[in-house]
Chain A
Amino acid sequence: MLATLVTAVINGLRGELVRVEIDVAPGLPVCHIVGLPDAALSEARERVRSAIRNSGFDYPTSRITVNLAPADRRKRGAAYDLAIAVGILVASGQIRQGGGAWALLGELSLSGAVEMVPGVLPMVATLSRSGYTRIGVPAGNIAEAGLVAGVHAVGVAGLDDAARLVAGPRGRTASRAERRPQVEVSGPRAGRQPARDAGAGALTAPVAPVDLAEIRGQGHARWALEVALAGGHNLLLVGPPGAGKTLLARSIPGLLSPLTDEEAMDVTVIESVAGVLRDGGLRRDRPFRAPHHTSSYAALVGGGPNLSPGEATLAHHGVLFLDELAEFDRPALDALRQPLEEGFLTIARATGRVRYPARFQLVAAMNPCRCGYFNDPDQPCRCAAGDAERYVRRVSGPFLDRIDIRIEMARVPALELLGGPPPEDSAVVRARIAAARARSLARNDGHPNAALTGSAVVRLCALAPAVNSRLAELAASRKLSARGVHRLLRVARSIADLAGHAEAAEADVLAAAALREPIGSVGDLRAA
């Protein structure tokens, strides 16, 4: 007897419809899964058999053939388990499909419990677009499934719940389940899911943001950060250990505005696919990702054997913070040039080709040399001559070129750490940034200043004639390229937005010029 159910697969960040066809026919008791399954999927037959038995059903002693259509697409993961198991129940006549067309998503444990799977949100969205609005999802994923409008999603905790859905109120045929109490399966099931949830939470829990009130000194660096966040400019902080680069960066989450509805949906979809969605609801706070400098290429840009999004994509609509920039793998850094320029990443592998959105704001920090004390007034640099230059050169020029604001930080004198008036706190600065950002978004058709290029810069960052001559002087003395002039204009625009100026004034242009210093260069070269 033949049964057909509908489920979905993740490709990139989109869900794709998959039909599961199950044929149970007389013959030797074997189970074949066809349709390009991967290892996790091939193991489904073991999980499905145990889950069916432990849920009080009978595993048919017949020849079972499972086909996943379309057959030419490679299938990954364990989200098909539930559909296969229910399909076997239908095909072996243990239940009837009396409840209408249900799509099913979920992984089975041997006990018959339904486990959470990544990517439920985009899969549900795809199913809904294809007309399957009644969907059974793992109970732990119900919150994200509910984010899709017009869907009737039901959380299923176990295989028997799913069977009941598909069978409808009177569709269930008599099975041994009627006779056998289900206590054994419901007990462990209740305990399992929170445990998994808690584990994921510990790994992805955000570090509590540092409040700016805790950062003393660094007046210039604080202001540079404010300008960067107001205009969405990429920011590089260079300085010795202990200058406060990381501390400053850790204050960023507390300065970001919440996501808009549209952005929130994008971010939630990405987190759903990556399996890091914390409580399942809509993600409202802007992402702040801080991968360690030992992160692999795949972890940073995405990919890997199972093609999952990387940190660059997880930082979409948010901030990607790369501490110790020069210590990162060079190929991985250079791979970030595409998203820095275009806002997405294309990953091509033998198993497929996907495109991940990655429109993030980059904040990076690095030491001026390997030991960190190059040009430090109080501490000798222990690097050999020329090493400092080599160290800075580990970050490629084209990469540095994408960074609008680059500043050097020095260590704060101890005296300043103790005395002085308390600095502004994050709430005050956040309000200022939000106001500036709103001004720029309104003027630029919803783009931050950093995203302006070519003619848009010239049009939206126009200067008064007197200011233009000052800009020309700056461009000549610093030998700025056209790109360099545009960069200066964009940053000046953000400074003006912060100050509430309708047009960038001379002071804004001059101030902008101080926000891009040649980094780590050898001093006497600059004098030369």
Chain B
Amino acid sequence: MGGGEERRAWITLASADGAAEETLAVLIGQFGSAQEVLRRAADGRLAVWSKSTLNASGRHPLTRPVLAAIEAAARDPDALLWAIAHLGLWSLTPLDHAYPAGLRDLDPPPPVIHGLGDPEALVQRRAVAVVGTRRPTPAGRLLTTRICARLVECGAAVISGLAIGIDGTAHAATVERGGRTVGVIGAGHSRPGPRAHAALRDRIAGARGAVVSEHHPGVRASRGTYPRRNRVIAALGDAVIVVEAPLRSGALITARHALELGRPVFVAPGRVDDWSVAGSLALLRDSPAQPMVGLDELIADLGYFDSTDDDASAGSQIDGARRPALAMLGPAERQVAERLCAGPAGLDLLVADTGLPPSVVSGAVTLLLLRGWAQPMGPAYLPSGPLAE
């Protein structure tokens, strides 16, 4: 029996609907190998064992639906494996050397990870999870973009959850700057995250990144799958950065998982009484998570400073990048750009704050958009490119 057979059995067993890794750990511990578990499932001995055994909490180790699913998988393993091959997915199990080391910190680790794109993205020297709300403010998106730009400069992969909001912004900003990013989805690959992110998924996979799931392709997202997905995000990163988290945000679950795993958690603070960071502030108060007080401090805390060369004076560096950029602009564009550097603003606000006629402001914004120095975010515009550094 080669390792290949055991690997196939492992993937088959993990793909059985409802078989969580805790169950698998028990079964493999009991019977020695996944192949043995499948053999016993196929000839009915597994059912006999489960019905005759009570675990510590006085229950049978396998519930009836899980037992049925494992038996079905044992009878027809090819159907499950074919679905994976059909989507062009690669799979990693803890038996593989390429299995991300960070995931082994989980107890028990996910028995299998299915992925699209480049598996190398999972084993980068540096990786940071950037997570936050599905309903970010324009300022939150801007901060996410800036954080990811710095992480890319440091050669770190950005891990997130491919959800709408901060997650999507983090992935997009990383891909845009040529970085690797890993999206962990909370359902099977046949039913991946928000429809709106189909294009983003392909771009991540195409830019040496990866989109991964611990679920068999056919599994639908349900109540439990997203919180579970969050522990994978936490485990894949060296640290977790929480950008904007209202109360009860999923990002807080990711942060708690990270703290349990001993990973540092950085929280971008915000204004007191601001709903968009209420969860972030609660996290700062109630946990050992650290506040993120600036991009350079963040990079320093992460210990990533070695690859950025002139890091001595961070503040002046930022201004330094902006100044020559601003000097290239005409007077009206410069006035608008300077206003945008002070914070996101919609066209009405730009008109009011610059005092320029609306047609001039509109033209200036269009020019900045064309150059990639501004980007729209709902009714507001954010500085981008050299202005956002």
Contacts and interface: CB of A to CB of B under 8 A. Distances in A.
A333 interface: no
- The binding surface of chain B is classed by DSSP as helix
Nearest to A373: B135
Interface in A507-527: 507-508, 510-515, 517-518, 522-527
B348 A409 contact: yes
A389 interface: yes
A366 to B, nearest CB: 13
Interface in B98-133: none
> Taking each of A498, A512, A524, which has the highest tally of chain B beta carbons within 10 Å of its own beta carbon?
A524
Contacts of B365: 514
Given A386-B194, A522-B164, A524-B141, A220 B358 contact: yes
Contacts of A389: 196
B375 A526 contact: yes
Contact of A524 (B172, B276, B349, B369): B172
What is the size category of the interface that chain B forms with chain A?
Answer: 35 or more
A477 B175 contact: no
B135 A219 contact: no
A386 B363 contact: no
Contacts of A376: 378
Nearest to B139: A377
B348 A474 contact: no
B329 to A, nearest CB: 13
A219 B138 contact: no
A242 B275 CA distance: 20
Given A219-B358, A222-B358, A528 B348 contact: no
Contact of B349 (A386, A410, A498, A518): A410
B362 interface: yes
Contacts of B145: 527
Given A217-B348, A380-B246, A528 B175 contact: yes
Interface in B259-286: 275-276
A239 interface: yes
A410 B138 CA distance: 12
Contacts of B344: 377
B352 interface: yes
A219 B348 contact: yes
A121 B75 CA distance: 83
Interface string A412-448: 1100100010000000000000000000000000000
A514 B363 contact: yes
Contacts of B195: 386
Contacts of A518: 376
B146 to A, nearest CB: 12
B230 interface: no
Interface in A379-424: 379-381, 385-386, 389, 407-410, 412-413, 416, 420
18 contacts: A220-B348, A223-B358, A238-B379, A368-B378, A375-B138, A377-B380, A380-B135, A380-B276, A385-B134, A473-B370, A510-B366, A514-B361, A522-B196, A524-B167, A524-B172, A525-B199, A526-B376, A528-B171
Interface of B: 134-139, 141, 145, 163-165, 167-169, 171-173, 175-176, 194-197, 199-200, 203, 246, 275-276, 344, 346-352, 357-367, 369-370, 375-380
Interface of A: 217-224, 238-239, 368, 374-377, 379-381, 385-386, 389, 407-410, 412-413, 416, 420, 473-474, 477, 495, 498-499, 507-508, 510-515, 517-518, 522-528
